[in-house]
Amino acid sequence: MNRFETKRITHFAMVVVALLACPHFAMAQGAVAGVTATADTPSPEWTGWGYPTEVGLHATATNPTPDTGSTLQGPNWKWTVDKVEYSDDNVTFVVGGVNYCTIQNDTLANATLKCWFYQGAYWRVTCKVTVGYSETPGTKTWTGSATCAPRPNSGELLSITVTSGATQTNVTGAKNWAAIKSAGSTVGIQATYKPNVAAVANLIVWTGGTPVAGDNSQSTVDKGTSARTTVTAAIGDPLAKDLDVWILWVTITVEVAGTTPANAVQFGASYDATENLGGRSYAGGTVAVGKVVPVGTISPAGAGAVVTGGWNFRRDRWFKSFADGVVTPGPGSPNGITDAGWVDDTSFAVFQRLTPDANDKIYDRDAPNVARFGNTTDTQVYANFREYVQWNPTAAETAARTPTTSDYALWYWKGRWQVASAPQITLKDAGTGNIVLPAAAAP
């Protein structure tokens, strides 16, 4: 192309020509009379980076009269680009700007101006035509010239950004935005460009998003599916503007068998001093515990490395306990009341890992238990649990315990301690799903 090709620093130009008056040169010795230069409307009127705009150039002149006995030779035409001026406001123009202009068929009366503009704003390209004649035999020559200034507009894409429906709170990377999956909702994206006119907006080519009907300066991303969407906008520009929209969701599985996942908080010396999950008894069979590890897998893949904070792993409990066959407050029961509906049972922070690991996972941990509570000979505990995840919750969502970023994952625990039995733990069971809380204690 030319020395500007390696720069490719911005974007393009769109040209609309408004011709200035082209001067005619008065007849004088050696001067050509009636020289004119005109320019067509550019085609296309609006272009982007990497595509030229073309303008037809036309020249005319009045042939001079050769001496008697001589033959007129010519006309010989020569078009040149006389001056290129640039303006941000279409008022104050300065020579320069990043551009490349050339003239094809520059030795013909009808030539073509071809320009690439790498800055978006306003341009004046002044073209000059020179014409020459001679006679044979003889030594007389005639010359003349005229200029005209096409006055184009050019468009440049400056940036794109999210304006609604997503956030960068707890999101790493200047181009990353995130939102929670929400059917029927969208993320709004706005392009900025110059000049700020609809004709420039209409040049934008969007990929990855859905352009807004009637306003091509905007695009949207649907929030109905968990996905990473790269949205790109360009005005014919290989140096396009882009950003990533991460629509988040968490799928929870409750591990009730096997061993504690390596990246979860380990049980260590607690309870039976193993990492074995499920119903476990210890202390000589006098105490039992249901060891579970809820695991939240964040989607889409790779989101854990981008959305590194703001995660809440929460749990509700609904339980019923009996002492010697009578409904009674169980361990940790709210206000000493059993069978009171769903109440908050969220783990202490020390038992959770809320920074996603390399597999996009976060972890909770719990261990409801049963033993001899009070002076009873028979203790039975039945409990349902529901795990859920929030991301960047509002105060109202936190207070209401709203599962904003996952569905509920259900699990249960049931255990029985009997003083007359050997061992005294006669029931220890943890599993997925919820159970029907019994109306009465088991006999």
- Domain contains 359: yes
Indicate the number of domains in the chain.
Answer: 3
- The verdict on 114 and 206 lying in the same domain is no
335: pLDDT confidence band, cut at 50, 70 and 90?
low
- The verdict on 96 and 131 lying in the same domain is yes
Last residue of a domain, one of 154, 171, 191: 154
- Domain contains 215: yes
- Domain contains 12: no
CA distance 15 to 178: 39
Beta strands at 241-255 and 176-180: parallel, antiparallel or unpaired: parallel
- The verdict on 278 and 401 lying in the same domain is yes
- Domain contains 211: yes
pLDDT exceeds cutoff 90 at 334: no
- Domain contains 310: yes
- The verdict on 272 and 414 lying in the same domain is yes
- The verdict on 243 and 260 lying in the same domain is no
pLDDT at 209: 94
- The verdict on 264 and 401 lying in the same domain is yes
- The verdict on 219 and 267 lying in the same domain is no
- The verdict on 330 and 219 lying in the same domain is no
In the chain, pLDDT over 90 holds for what percent of residues?
Answer: 77
pLDDT exceeds cutoff 90 at 109: yes
- The verdict on 334 and 289 lying in the same domain is yes
Query: What are the structure tokens assigned to 417, written together?
Result: 């301690």
5: pLDDT confidence band, cut at 50, 70 and 90?
very low
Last residue of a domain, one of 199, 220, 247: 247
CA distance 124 to 13: 12
What tens digit of pLDDT does each residue of 122-162 get? 899 999 999 999 999 999 999 999 999 888 888 899 999 99
What tens digit of pLDDT does each residue of 210-269 get? 999 999 999 999 999 999 999 999 998 778 999 999 999 999 999 999 999 999 999 999
Question: What CATH number should be reported for the domain holding residue 243?
Answer: 2.60.40
In the chain, pLDDT over 70 holds for what percent of residues?
Answer: 91
- The verdict on 93 and 220 lying in the same domain is no
pLDDT exceeds cutoff 50 at 12: no
- Domain contains 72: yes
pTM score over 0.85 = no
Domain that includes residue 337, residue range: 256-432
Which of 338, 334, 318 is closest to 326 using CA atoms? Answer: 338
- Domain contains 443: no
pLDDT exceeds cutoff 50 at 14: no
Q: What are phi and psi of 325, to 5 degrees?
A: 85, 0
What tens digit of pLDDT does each residue of 396-413 get? 999 999 999 999 999 999
pLDDT at 1: 38
- The verdict on 261 and 241 lying in the same domain is no
Last residue of a domain, one of 224, 247, 270: 247
> Which residues make beta-bridge pairs with 298?
250
